[in-house]
Structure 1
């Protein structure tokens, strides 16, 4: 997505930018319950008209704990000196 944006440079329109962002976010969608097949193109097209859902996908995708689980506990300082 970023490569495509860079290739177009200043010639990219707002609509093209929105379409590129929707395509990138569509890659984060695994499944849905709509009648249409859950293809990247179908998801991207739907995300263009569903701004709140599109934003929610980004919020969920940036929450590390959703992907990495609970962080490990701090290690103990070791035995105390006498």
Structure 2
């Protein structure tokens, strides 16, 4: 039973170590950065509005986007 309990956390250790070594960040921060890059691409290159692409947690997205790019997504 203990093996099954620790397996999910153990599976993250190699990924976490790789991300910390290569990108100097945590897995959750890396994932957030990737999502923000994709959002920037959709807003800038595809001309989408934030409400079209990001229906869930729009206020959280707007806050993170502004923090990362120093501009509100609605201004693009």
TM-score with structure 2 setting the length: 0.29
Q: Which has the higher helix share?
A: 2
Give the number of the structure with larger relative contact order, counting CA–CA contacts within 8 Å between residues 6 or more apart: 1
